[in-house]
Amino acid sequence: MEKGLEVLVADHLFDVLFEQDPLMPVFQERRFQPEPDILALTDRGDLVIFELKLHAAERASLDQAFRYAQHVGQWNYSQLNHKYLQYKQGSEGLIADHQSAFELVRPLQEEEFNQRQHIKIVGTGANDELVGAVDYWRKQGVSIDFLPYRVYEFGTSSYFEFFSPPHDRHRNPAHKKGVLFDTNLSWDPESIWYMMENDRVAAFGEAKRWIEVLNKGDTVFFYHRGWGVVAAATVIGDKKSDGDATLYKDVRFVTDKPQRGDEPIKAMSAQRVKHITDTGFYFARTAKVPYLSKAQADRLVAELGDVVAR
């Protein structure tokens, strides 16, 4: 079903589908409403409009996407925030959530949202008319992409392949990598000490599945919200369970680690991490994306070692 495709894309905008330029979903279409399939924001506040097709996309898809872009491109912050609150009930508001998601030093001002729009058309393929139209509008300076996907069936399992640009920059998560991993401060201030004192990296509750992204040999950077990266370690163990709500892997620390009672905790700020790695991150998940190459991880370890030295 097309709704299934929409949910799949929206749920993974900020981890694997757009790993080099993560997106924050802010709205999904409602049944029987003439609305874009998905709306998302970049860290700069640009609005991204997704038009999804369950099968091959045709020229009519582009015409529809342009109509939506013309409509939502005129929204002011109040209108955009209203849509977001329909999508994210219980939220404090778009400005606060956007700053938290991208760990911005300062929140964007209302007038900084929706200054630019980008169109993404997604389908299993495209006819020549659509490809030609997309190429034409790109040459005219319009920010528009056609993104193909495929679904493969192997036995009883289905595999989803998504081609988001730039195609050649995607990293195989099975290779050695660096991962910024959340210490769970927002939910339990004791979680960091559970990890530090037991030499492990852990994930909890509904987020426990994120422990799966870490492999032996990966470098994990412990990210303490509001502080920054407080330590780094190499993953040395397989997945283990500590009760129904906790999954963890054993690690060997490669930098000094904070001790209970440290005040303040020595940490490298999110902005400093971005500068060293030349990477922007989406911080609203337990495992931050994008993942770092081994070279980036080694460079960050060296810099972090000086910051957290006891």
Residue 291 has pLDDT above 50, yes or no: yes
SS3 assignment for 240-256? EECCCCEEEEEEEECCC
pLDDT of residue 168: 45
Report the chain's mean pLDDT, rounded to a whole number. 89
Alpha helices of the chain — where are they, by DSSP H?
A: 2-11, 59-72, 77-87, 94-102, 128-139, 191-198, 270-277, 294-308
Identify any residues that bridge with 73 across adjacent strands, giving them in sequence order.
none
Q: Do the domains spanning 2-169 and 178-308 agree at the CATH topology level? A: no
What 3-state DSSP class applies to 26?
strand
Asked if CATH classification 3.10.590.10 holds for the domain at 178-308, the reply, yes or no, is: yes
Which of the four CATH numbers 3.40.50.1820, 3.40.50.300, 3.40.1350.10, 3.40.50.2300 does domain 2-169 have?
3.40.1350.10
**What tens digit of pLDDT does each residue of 26-71 get?**
998 877 677 888 999 999 999 999 998 878 788 888 899 999 999 9
The domain locations on the chain are: 2-169, 178-308
Residue 151 has pLDDT above 90, yes or no: no
